[in-house]
Amino acid sequence: MRENELIIYRNFDNEEILDDMSRLFEHSREGKIDVTGDRKTLYTCMSRLTELAGKSGFYGNLWHCYLTSLLVNHENSYSMATEIRGKVEGTINDIALHDIEIFKDFFDYDFTALLHQLSVPEFNVLLDYHACSVESRMYNHRIRDRICTLAQALAKSSDAGEMKDILTQFYKEYGVGKFGLHKAFRISHTDDGAQIQPIKNIRHVNLEDLVGYEIAKKKLIDNTEAFVEGRMANNCLLYGDAGTGKSSSIKAIANEYFDQGLRIIEVYKHQFQDLNDVIDQIKGRNYRFIIYRDDLSFEEFEIEYKYLKAVIEGGLEKKPENVLIYATSNRRHLIRESFKDKPTLEDDDIHRNDTVQEKLSLVDRFGVTIYFGAPSQDEFRGIVKELAERNGIHMSDEDLFLKANKWEMAHGGLSGRTAQQFIDYLVGTELSH
């Protein structure tokens, strides 16, 4: 086959399978079959394809799924140009079509002669593979299904042009590589610098699932929608009482705006020094990135806030338009203050006020601050009642509120989290009998 003629689609992960299978195709076509050696190679490829299916959850034609996974994960000048944007103009289309013509040959390959020559009919089971129900270690089931469905569509394409159109539409809808297939990420530090790693599964929270806090949610939605639509938007701080839905709101917008190109990167305080490296990796992509820190606060001896201030404010280099900082905190003022911060005659800091202002100025870097306060008793009851209705709990308001009041007094007080925990308790115990 012509895998060595590929121009932009080359240097894949798991490339050994493609190389070995292509060599087998060539041996079969030219009548140069080495039964012993080639048979061993084919069984090795079968093992690798089966292992890939186990890790990825692939089903159907594993050869097609494998080829499709190469295409959807390969970041090159064509795939990255078309992600989110769709069709592009220019010579790059001709180059992409050249490579996809080669992949079309791979998709259309008839294994009949090869399997007969090597006496390996077992390979046919990989062409109609039924996956076990175990969750994929590489993808969540939604991503796995997208790849398997795309594999079926590519296999049915009439020619390379149609295949290219189908693939381009996929890039437009979902993107390419890890940023295209996943919605949330974390950072790991290696010897080569910061590495952005996908989070395989995040809680599928929707904005409508969050009861109450309508004003707060609207402020968050308005800012986020402006951002994903390419309009001016601000860094955002969600602060307030514990259990009021701050973190859940961030998860909800990650789910809500994924198909519009929004991606979330979660960071920890000790990773703030890696933020410039992370931004360098994402600033040229066609996605919108929110760098997110949950439960943000600093003790007076911690200096990581200086890294965060520098990133938010920006240095000489223009701040990327596709990056914002979102954070949640139980504190309005993110850096702990103490009475010793007040100026005294014994104070050896001549410019004590400057020191205090340096600490307090971090919160000012967030253009939008949104307060999530503990609900009142009536608001708490309203949340409980709506959650009960959504979960099919049918009892009188009197009994429901009496049980809810007893629960909240023993389990953290009035909050949306307490209400949800109470409803989970009812569903898991009383309704199960």
How do residues 276-311 score in pLDDT, each as one tens digit? 889 999 988 889 999 998 877 665 645 556 666 666
Are residues 420 and 362 located together in one domain of the fold? no
DSSP 31-49: T---HHHHHHHHHHHHHHH
pTM: 0.79
Is the pLDDT confidence value at 18 over 60?
yes
Are residues 140 and 202 located together in one domain of the fold? no
Work out the mean pLDDT of the chain and round it to a whole number.
Answer: 84
Are residues 99 and 28 located together in one domain of the fold? yes
Number of domains in the chain: 3
All residues at 6 or more sequence positions from 121 whose CB lies less than 8 Å from its CB, including other chains: 115
Asked whether residue 142 is assigned to any structural domain, the reply reads yes
Are residues 353 and 399 located together in one domain of the fold? no
Q: What is the CA radius of gyration of the chain?
A: 27
What pLDDT was estimated at residue 350? 47
Asked whether residue 13 is assigned to any structural domain, the reply reads yes
For residue 244, give its domain range: 196-372
Is the pLDDT confidence value at 23 over 80?
yes
Are residues 297 and 248 located together in one domain of the fold? yes
What pLDDT was estimated at residue 418? 87
Asked whether residue 347 is assigned to any structural domain, the reply reads yes
Residue 351 binned pLDDT confidence (cut-offs 50, 70, 90): very low
Which of the two residues, 107 and 308, has the higher pLDDT score?
107
What pLDDT was estimated at residue 388? 87
Token pair listed for 66:
């494998």
Q: Rounded to whole angstroms, how far apart are CA atoms 210 and 278?
A: 31
| Range in 247-256, 298-307, 315-324 with the lowest mean pLDDT | 298-307
Residue 431 binned pLDDT confidence (cut-offs 50, 70, 90): low
Are residues 45 and 165 located together in one domain of the fold? yes
Q: Rounded to whole angstroms, how far apart are CA atoms 269 and 285?
A: 25
pLDDT (tens digit, 9 = 90+) per residue, 357-404?
555 555 667 788 888 888 888 888 888 888 888 888 888 888 888 888
Give the orientation angle of helix 141-156 with respect to helix 160-174, to 10 degrees: 160
| Boundary-marking domain end, from 149, 181, 213 | 181
Residue 332 binned pLDDT confidence (cut-offs 50, 70, 90): low
Are residues 396 and 292 located together in one domain of the fold? no
What's the number of CA atoms in the CB half-sphere (13 Å) around residue 250? 29
Which CATH number is 286's domain given?
A: 3.40.50.300
The SS3 assignment for 400 reads helix
| Boundary-marking domain end, from 356, 372, 388 | 372
10 Å Cβ neighbour count for 83? Answer: 24
The SS3 assignment for 176 reads coil
Asked whether residue 37 is assigned to any structural domain, the reply reads yes
The full 3-state SS of 406-430, as one line of letters, equals HHHHHCCCCCHHHHHHHHHHHHHCH
Is the pLDDT confidence value at 60 over 60?
yes
Are residues 221 and 294 located together in one domain of the fold? yes
Which of the two residues, 224 and 193, has the higher pLDDT score?
224
DSSP 318-340: PPPTTEEEEEEES-SSSB---GG
What pLDDT was estimated at residue 95? 97
Are residues 284 and 401 located together in one domain of the fold? no
